[in-house]
Every structure is written in C-alpha cells, then in structure tokens.
Structure 1
Amino acid sequence: MKLSVRPKDETYFLANRHVFFHRGANAKFENKWHGLWVGDYKVFDSFSYEIRVDGKTIDLLEHATNFSYHGSKSVHAYGISGLHVEEICFIPQKVPALVSVLSLKNDSNKDIHVQVVLRAHVNHRAREINWHNTEYKTLFEKHGEYVSVKSSNERYALFGSKKGFTVSFSNQGVFNEYVDGKDKQRTFMPGDYVVNVPIKAGERVKVPFFFGATTRGLKDMLVSFIDLRDYYEKRFQEVSRHFKHVSDSFEVVITPEIEELVAWSTINLELLKHDSHLFAGLPWFSQYWGRDTLWSLNAFLHVGAFDFVKRILKHYLSVLAKGNAEVPAGTVPNVEYLSGERDYNSLDATPLLVLAVGEYVKHTGDVTFLKEHSNALAHISRWFESLDEKGFLRPFNTKNTTWMDTLGRTKAIEVQALYVSAARSLGELHDILGSSELSHFFNERAKTALGVIESYWLADKGYFKDTSENASLTPNQLVPIMLGLVEPTRANKVLSRMLESDMLGEWGVRSLSQKEEGFFADAYHQGSAWGLTNAWLVCALLSQSRVSDAVSMLRRIHKDLSTAAIGCISETYSGEPQKPSGCSLQLWSSALIIRAIDEFMFGIKPNLAKKVVTLSPAMVKGVLKRHDKLLHDTFMDVRLEGHANRVVMELAFSKQPDFDIVLDLRGINATRIVANGVTLDGERFTPRDENVIEVFF
C-alpha cells in the first residue's frame, strides 16, 4: 500500500497501541496537534534536521520535494544538490517511540563529511492544555549517546541515535513560543544533538534517530529505547509485516478505487486501536466514545478480529451504569477518558451495544460468551423496559443524547431505528438463552417501536421526519433503511431525495438540507457532511441494490485519501464548496465502509449460533470477489458474477463448513436456483468445500 503526493498542506498519522504521531506531509509541524503523543498526552511537539556539508548549512524543511505514505511508514524526500536525502519514519509495534531514519547518499565523486543536527522540541501537556510553565531538566548520557528530558510533572522524553557515530550535544535549554489560532503554545528545545557522518563518494549511509515518549517512569522506557536502538531494522520489518497482514485481512476485487478505499479503511481501523480500546478519531478525539466504537465494531468482525471485539464487549458490559436519579441502570457510557472518568449521556449507545453483542454471537457462534454475561444482558433488558414510552425510547435526562450532540433532539428517528433493531436482537439473544417469555416480550416491543417510525412518514414530501416534532430533512432516516426497517418503495423515495443537490454536495450528504431553515454550511450538525452519514448512504443504497449510486458515493469518499490526512477518511466536510474538516482520521468514517462492502454489497450475514450463513448480495453487473472472509474457524472466498438474467456465486472454503447457506435474493423473483448442479427446492443448502450457485430470474 502506498500513496504519494507532492506535499502541500496534507498531513499523516503513524500509530501503535501506545502512541500516535501526527505531522505534515511537507515534513513540518504546523499546529498544536502535530507531534508525538502518548494517548491524550503530548511529549514531543516537533523536531527538525539541519545538514552541514562542505561549509554549507541546509535546513531540510526548506527542501522537501515528495512524500509517500504506506500506513506502516512515511517517506519524506528532500532535494539537495549532491546529496540525496530521504527520511523514513515508523512507529514500532509495541514500543512508545518513533523512529526517524535519514538515508544520505553521496551523489558526488568525492568523499564528504556530513554533520546532522537534530533539534527536538519537547512539550509535556495534556490535550486540553495550551501554554504552561512546566520546567525541564536535561541529561546527556554520553556512554549511551542519548538525551533524556524530565519535566517538573515527572514525565520523560528521550532522543538519540545509534552507537557507532561520533555524537555531541550542546545543552542549551531554550524555550520557544508560537500561536496556533488563538492557542498559545510553549515548547522546550534542550539543545543541538549533532551526529558526524563520513560518507564516501557514491555511498549511502543510514542515520537513525529515536524518540521515546513515556508518561510513566524512565526505567521501562529506557529498556525499550535501548532495544529499539540496537534492533530498529528488525522492528521495522515487524511493523511492515504487521500492516501487510492488516491490509490483507479484508481483500476485495471490485474497482481499483474501491479496493484502495477498502484497504486504507482497514489500515485506519488499526491506527485507531489504543490499548484494548478504540479512539474515536485523531488527533483530538483521543478518548473512548461508546457510540462511535459500537457503530464501528461490525467492521472488526468483518476483518476477523473476533478476540479484539470480544475484549471491547466485555469491557462495555462491565461498565454499565449502576443507576441513579439522572442515569438509569444499564446505560452504556458515551465517553470514557483515559483518566478513568466516564460520561453516561447517550441514548443510542445501549441499543448499539445490544446490536454489537448480537453480531458478535452471530459471527462467532460464541454462545458461551452470551451465557457468561447474561446478568449484564438482564440489566440492559430492564433499561429498555424502563425507558419505553408507548414505543418511543424516551431520553433519560436533559442532555443532548443523540449523535448530533450539539442539538436538543428527542424521539430521533435513528434512535428509534436502533431501538427496533436492538429489541429484535434482544428477542433473539433471550431465545438463545432459553427465555421464550422475554424473547416474545422484546419481539412485541420491536413491532410497537417500528410503528413509531412508520408514523414519521411524510407522504407529501417523500421522506421521514427527523424527530417526532421536527420535519426537517436530514440523513438520519438512512439508519432505518440500512437496518431493513423501511419497505422498498419508501426507501427508494428517500434515497432519491438524498441524491438531490440540496442534500448531496461534492464531498457527501449534508446533515441538513440547504432548503431548511437553520442550514449553515459550516455548522457541525446543521450543514456539514459527515463521513458517518456518507457511509450510511452507501449502506442504504446497497441495501436497495442501487449499486451504481453506491459506487458513485464511494468514489466521492475515495478522494479524501489524498486530500486531508493521507490514507484517511475525515470526520466532516464543511463549507460551500465543501472541504474536509474536523478530525482527519475518524473511526466510524472508515469502519462503515468495511461494513458496507461485506454486509451490503456482498451480503454476507452469518448467524453461526444457528449454524447458518445468509448470502444476500446486491444485484451487480460484472465480477466481484471477496477473499478470506473468516467465519468462526473457516475462511470463505466469494466470487459474484452478474448477468442480465442470472447471477453466479462461487464459494470456496478453507475446510468443510459446519453450517448451511441460505440465499436471500432481496425480492428478486428467482425462476430457478441451482447449487452444485442440483436444482434447489427452496433457498437453503449444505455447502461443500467448493460450490457454484446459479440464480436465474
């Protein structure tokens, strides 16, 4: 995987589960969010290199020419006469550190002596802090040839190069200030770290620099730092293999643009893993948002990260609210800060948790997990009972409890849709647990709640109200469509309305129609397009087999990969004309692309708790392929080939599956279905290792 640009104002991210690094593609650090972070705590604000050769002093930042990004690494190229310079940056898998390797090639016909001067700027602060008066102590460890910087709040930064070079350090201790917008920043530059590098004519020499970051003690960081210094090339190979494995975990053949979008979306999921959780977005949503995480978990099931999903579900089932005057028992936290504090102010996170548990059980067949957490499921069931109000899911406090959290929305259509689907899921889960009474109860609740959604229909306008009291046109009604709660005629009227110019801009579907009072192109939830709503639209279009419209949307989204943060999908797109805004790497913006492809384009819907996998592909023309879809402990390859009057499906399994296949043809009137040469009497069959299914219509 590789994206290349001639750098302008693009940025990029590198990350592991401890740290993330944010920088301009032009190699500069141009705002307060750039730098090396440990979670939500900044350690290094910036660094720069100066090259001294033959009496000349060259600032590398002034000579950046090209940039390429690979997910696992970044490559900055610098144009200097007689000296070819590349900088490769990567973050090793398990160490809270950044590696920056300068590759220096002497293109002249004479030997030269180069001095590389590193100037690192330290800024130990929490994300919400700006200017601060922290003091620092600097130590140059001559034997180890590294510099440690200790702040007055007991945080450490380390930097240095590998042994073998002649190194010097001038301890200067200079404070610098800059302003980012209205926010004043104060950084500390310990001094010049100078590496002397003799280079023969035509020779290439690599000079690695290491930046260690810790919010804990120095001892553990020092052990990791020394290991990294001695084995950085091995660590580079490890991280390269890891990211290749990540990108291979969800491999499709559709169109080159969509294949690239899917691959980078998969990499983005990896970049946003933090510890055993997920950040909602970078650089500033470095918290665990329940709503965002739970909207996104399906994607991790689709890429086969079952254990990761299980850990997250265990966590959320263990931190349900105990209940008080403001928050009912069973509420899922909306935000968890790295400090351990939690906010319980979301009405949709609890339904989303139910859906995530249901999808995990369906994808894995792990009924034991469900039984082990039956008490938590009982708490959640009572939560739904306590908040049901004649089919509405009523808010439990006065805070803004929907995803549009800048607005006061009650009885919102997408929350109602999640309620219906969660009630159905609770019915299925209680059935698995053997409670037919509770299963029936929640199935009936689902029917009542579905009636609420149907009451929102505005026949004269051809779309649904946004809330019980607000008839504004918004994309929130895409949720009941993608969840299969709207009959096709109405669904297609809504989808056609979403594609009109007042809703669909250059970068995506607006959060409010331009024709509505209150629309403002820069408004967060009353004008801006969202990566989330764009993905909702793709899912909804594919649910109705509007493949060409969905592909057109995916191409719009694909543009973002080389625009804001390279390889990433943004949070929002604001203004007129629209442009990427908000967090430039947003979790659900990528996660729902993965879901759209697997669940709605290929139509792969496992229910391994009942030993069945449903295939409900969108009606496509041409050939689509999905490789290595993990179903419990077997991998499945899918090949779809669409013709004018038939669809051919080829399924291959890594071992004999222990489940049946059910074909759901989305309302297509099939005249005949042939599976492995046998005409089916129905839509269910037991697959072999290799299968050919022909559907005639």
Structure 2
Amino acid sequence: MNIRNISENWHERAYEIENKTQEKIFVSSIGALSIKSKPTGQIVETYYKEHNPMPGDRQRCLVVKYALKAKNAEIIFSLGDDKQEAMQNHNFDLAREMKKKIEYYNDLVRNSVSCNDKEIEQAFKWSIINLETLLKKTPAGYGYYAGYPWFQQIWGRDSGWVIPAIVDLGEFRKAKEALATLGKHMENGRIPNFITTDSKNIDYYSVDASLLWIISLHHYISQSDDMRFLIKQRPVMEKILSTYQKRTDKHGFIISDVEYEEEKRGETWMDTLNRSSEALDIQAMWIRSLECYNEMMHCLGRDSGLEKNVQKLRKNFDRKFWSGSFYYDSVEPVRDRKTANALVPLLFDLSKRAKDVLNVIESPLFTTPWGVRTLANDETAYNPESYHKGSVWELTTLWAACAEFKYGNSNKGLEYLKMISKDLFIYGLKEMTENWSADSGKALGCSSQTWNYALFIRAIDEYMLGIDINAFRKPAIKVKPRLPLGISKIVRKKRVKNKWFKIAAFRHGGEVKTEIIDL
C-alpha cells in the first residue's frame, strides 16, 4: 500500500499499524486504510519496499501479507483522511451495494450488442462498463480519466479518442459534457493536455488534444444534430484554428516539439520522444480537423474558406511523408524512424499507400503475439519494454485493427481485436492494459487504459460494421460492413438525434446483408 498525494512519488512517511481482531488499520500522517474481512484474517508479515512502477518514478510502499482460510471470502478495503473516517466507511452493506452496481451495469449493456462471437460481445460490453467507471465529476466538470492507476486526470488527448465512442454508444449527454469541460478550459487556443483531479493544475503542453477535440465535436454534432451546442463551441474552434495556423510551416503543416529541450517532454502522445518538427500523426489530425470544421460550418450555412487549404495539404501529404516504402515518423530529427503512427493517416482516410503500410505493420517488424509495437524492431533505438521505443500498446494494436477493417482486411482486423479481447480475461479484472513487453508479453504501465475501451467499440462500429451516421444527410445512416469469416451476425443499438435504431449485419448465403430497424 502507498497512501500518497496523486502527484507524489517518493516519500518517507511510516504507518502505524493497529492489528485488531475484527479489522486492521494502517495510519499515516495524510490518511488511513482499514481492512476488514469475513472470515477474519491475520497480518502475518509487513515490510517496506522501494520500487519504480514506471521509469523515474521511485516510490516506497508497505507490503502487507494478510492471511485467511476460506472457500469464499469478503474483504473490504476502506479509506479515509484519518482512522475514524476509514473505520466509519465500513458501515455499509457490501452485498446490497454490489447488487445495485451489478443491476446498473446490466442495464447499461442490455441490448447494446449481440454477436455470435461471444468473446467479442463480452469485450464490447466490458468496454462500456469500464468507460462508465472512468467517467468522473470533478471541480472542473465531467470528464474521463485516462486510466487506472496512474492517469487519474482528465486528459484532453485521450478524451479526443474516447468521446467519439461515447457518441457511438448514444450517450450524447456524457459526450457533450466531456466536450464542454475541455472547451471551457481552452486557453490561448489550446485544449488542456490534462486537468488534475482537484482542478488546481491544468497543463496545456499538447499539440494533438485541440485537434482531436474538434474531430470529436464533429462526431457528436453529426449524430446528435445539437446545433445550439455547435454555435456555442464555434468560438473555441476558431480560436484553436487561428492559433494553429500561426504554427504552420511554409507547406501548411503543423510544427511541434520546438520546446522539447526546455520542457523535457514532447507535445504528442509519444511525449518521451523528440519528434519535431512535423510529426506524421499530427498532420493527419490537422487535416481531419480542418475537414471537420468545414463540414460543421456547412451545417451552419457558412463557408469556412478553408477548402483549398485542405486540398493542398492532402495533395502534399504523401509527397512530404512517404519514404518509398513507409511513412516517415516526422521531418526532424529522425526522419526515417518507423513507428506505428503510420496507421493514423489510414484512419483519417488520408493515405493512398494503405496496402504498403499494412504490409509492414503486419510483418514481424511490428506485429507480435500480443499486438503492435510502437517502434519497428530493426530500429537502433528499439527496446521491447521501452514506453515509446518498442513496447506493444493496445492503442497501436487497435489502430491496426481499425485500419485492417477499413481497407478490407477484415480477418486480420479480427485477429488484432482478439489480441485485445483476450486481455480482459488474463487477470480476471476485465480490464485492458496500457502496454506490454514486445518480447515476453509482460504487462507494463496502467492496468486499465480508457482509450483502449473506446477504440474497441469504435473498431466494431465505425470500421467492422462501417456505420456512418450523419443527421444532416438522407439517409442519415449508411452501413458498409466488413465482416470477418468468424463473425456470422452482429447487431448494434444506435442513436440518431433522439431516435434509436437496431443495425444488424449478417451472412446470408455467400453475401453479407444489413438491416436497419426503428426502435
């Protein structure tokens, strides 16, 4: 155990231990933990341990060996600011609370998805439940923590990948509130990189959070038809775009990481690396955010005046970033570094080289039994357990799954999804891990990462089923399924404006057919 402030690593506080018959109490100067069990257990050993749960994060914890003998046991861990509060928190009916929670989660996933592949169905439903556990009300507003246990903050970048999945689930209110929380804290044309739990610290050092926010807003507006919210958020979008226009190069691409040496971190999701000046994935997000802004302005009957800019950027994208066999990760400082960021242009429909990219991603350079490496294993800097220089991320693996479905390789897409879905059942926690050792498959980082759940849902809805919803178009729902051989039928419940539909894709003879039914 380690009772500490959320932003704190090393401390030398000790614990007073009260080994009572019915409960065991551990008290430090900033908080207390009480352990109570049925049947009663005993503390058999305690000792302090120093460790580094993440590189550079030296911590000290108390290890407690607690023994009891039973076929079934109920153990309650209760926290408080002091001993009295920790003990008082035991005074609730655990069975009743668990029953209420189970009923709530069952209601949440009921009729959400049906699939002949029960592993995929269960992974989808557990993704919904995990997203719900990561939705928090903070002094800053509603938002999604990036993961447990290390990222209990609202991260703008992570939210940009997560909010579209919340929209896909028809949870418009939650998506709107998450967008509003980030939008109201925009400063100097930047959506927050992260907002701490107490909202006292808001960090803005991120280049992609603002772009993903615009893309997420577009996803929400397209399915909800919430014009009032669009009008309210328009000044936020325009401030972001005007700010970003000032940091473009002569070709119109975004320059990032210019303060890397000063900040000792990068502005992209690979923030341990210096990827300046023009990072590949950022350009894909930049182009897509401009397209989203154009479309939202058309919904308001306005001309954004950016159409020519978008066409120019699209035209120059492959010219600037294609190496002849793969995408450059960035222009400087390591131009030809091969990373999984090459998948992002495929997701945003920017690449004319999808087949070539996927051939490399599918090869042993990137793909392992556990998923897709961040960095190709023939790179000089490759390290199978390095955070951004070789470990397998479920994020990059899900990007690969989405891209495979999008470009017609549905069996490979399902193969990548299965690498993720099996993670839910490894430790019995029904969670999706942040990253893995590319050599051993050892779990690294967070035990539960929010964007994994979101991208699993999106891989099914947007990419396997090919569901495209636009409330401003007739028909509002278009479906282009790409079912792998292992999937014979899948049904999803979807929302357009305030109306719900059942969308089914199934095999009939040698064809894949679709059905859309009003509910």
Q: Distance in 1 between matches of 2:247 and 2:511?
A: 47
Question: Is the 1:417–1:450 Cα contact (8 Å) retained in structure 2?
Answer: no
- Is 1:178–2:49 an aligned residue pair? yes
**Selected match of 2:503 from 638, 643, 646:** 638
Select 1:568's aligned residue among 402, 421, 431.
431
**1:138-177 pair list within 5 angstroms:** 151-153=28-30, 155-157=31-33, 176-177=47-48
- Residues 299-338 of structure 1: CA deviation (Å, up to 9, x unaligned): 21122222111111111001112xxxxxxx1111212222
2:492 equivalent in structure 1: 627
Residues 373 and 525 of structure 1: CA distance in aligned 2, closer, same or farther (over 3 Å): same
Q: What is the CA distance between 1:609 and its match in structure 2?
A: 4.2
Deviation at 1:522, TM superposition (A): 2.1
Q: Which runs of 5+ in 1 are unaligned?
A: 1-44, 46-122, 195-203, 322-328, 655-697
Given candidates 336, 339, 355, the residue that maps to 1:471 is 336
- Paired position in structure 2 for 1:428: 295
Shift of residue 149 of structure 1?
Answer: 7.0
After TM superposition, give the deviation of residue 479 of structure 1 in Å: 0.9
Change over 3 Å in CA distance of 1:137–1:585 after alignment to 2: closer
Partner of 2:273: 407
Secondary structure at 2:515 match in 1: strand
Residue 280 of structure 2 aligns with an amino acid whose one-letter code is I
Aligned-CA RMSD value: 3.5
Q: Which has the higher contact order (CA 8 A, sep 6+)?
A: 2
Whether contact under 8 Å (1:419, 1:449) holds in the other structure is no
Q: Which residue of 2 aligns with 1:365?
A: 225
Residue 610 and residue 185 in structure 1: after superposition, are their counterparts in 2 closer, same or farther (change >3 A)? same
**Partner Cα separation in structure 1 for residue 489 and residue 211 of structure 2:** 33
Distance apart, 1:188 and its partner CA: 10
Quick one: structure 1 residues 376 and 217, their matched pair in 2 at CA, closer, same or farther if it must change by over 3 Å?
farther
Relative distance call for 1:575 and 1:233 in structure 2 (3 A) is: closer
Cα distance, 1:338–1:440 mapped onto 2, change above 3 Å: same
Match of 1:523 among 374, 386, 391: 386
- The 1:188–1:391 alpha-carbon spacing in structure 2 relative to 1, beyond 3 Å, is closer
Higher helix share: 2
Work out whether 1:283 is the aligned partner of 2:149.
yes
8 Å CA contact 1:148–1:159 kept in 2: the answer is yes
Across the two proteins, how many residue pairs are aligned to each other?
A: 497
Query: Partners in 1 of 2:390 and 2:61 — Cα distance?
Result: 35
**8 Å CA contact 1:626, 1:637 repeated in 2:** yes
Whole-angstrom CA distance in 2 between matches of 1:259 and 1:207:
30
Aligned to 1:295: 161
Which of 260, 264, 287 lines up with 2:122 in the alignment?
260
Counterparts of 2:17 and 2:506, CA distance in 1: 66
Question: Which of 67, 84, 97 is the matching residue for 1:235?
Answer: 97
Match of residue 273 from structure 1 = 135
1:129 aligns with 2:9: yes
- Tell me the equivalent position of 1:418: 285
Aligned to 1:548: 411
Q: Which residue of 1 aligns with 2:310?
A: 446
CA offsets 1:251-277 (integer angstroms, 9 cap, x no match):
131523322322232232223233332
Counterparts in 2 of 1:298-447, with a 5 A limit?
Answer: 298-321=164-187, 329-339=188-198, 340-389=200-249, 390-395=251-256, 397-399=258-260, 400-409=266-275, 410-436=277-303, 439-441=304-306, 443-447=307-311
Query: Displacement of 1:175 after TM fit?
Result: 8.1
**Percent of residue pairs bearing the same amino acid type:** 25
Structure 1 residue 411, shift from structure 2 partner: 0.8
Q: Is the 8 A contact 1:413 1:453 kept in 2?
A: no
Instruction: Give yes or no for contact 2:25–2:83 (8 Å, CA) kept in 1.
Output: no
Task: Please list the CA deviations of residues 567-586 of structure 1 after superposition, one character each: whole Å capped at 9, or x if unmatched.
Answer: 22221122424433221211
* Alignment partners' CA distance in 2, 1:516 and 1:416: 23
TM (norm. structure 2) is: 0.85
Could you tell me whether the CA contact under 8 Å between 2:492 and 2:503 is conserved in 1? yes
1:617 aligned residue (478, 481, 496): 481
Answer whether contact 2:17 2:24 (CA < 8 A) is retained. Answer: no
On the 8 A contact 2:321/2:330 being kept in 1, the answer is: no
Cα deviation digits, residues 583-607 of structure 1 (max 9, x gap): 1211112211110100111111211
Aligned equivalents of 2:506, 2:27: Cα separation in 1: 62
- The question of whether the paired residues in 1 share the 8 Å contact of 2:479 and 2:514 is answered with no
What is the one-letter code of the residue matched to 1:246? L
1:608 aligns with 2:471: yes
Task: Give the SS at the match of 1:468.
Answer: coil
| Higher radius of gyration, 1 or 2 | 1
Alpha-carbon distance between aligned partners in 1 of 2:47 and 2:503, rounded to the nearest angstrom: 57
**5+ residue gaps, structure 2:** 261-265
- The answer to which structure has the higher strand fraction is 1
Equivalent residues of 1:160, 1:210 under 8 A apart = yes
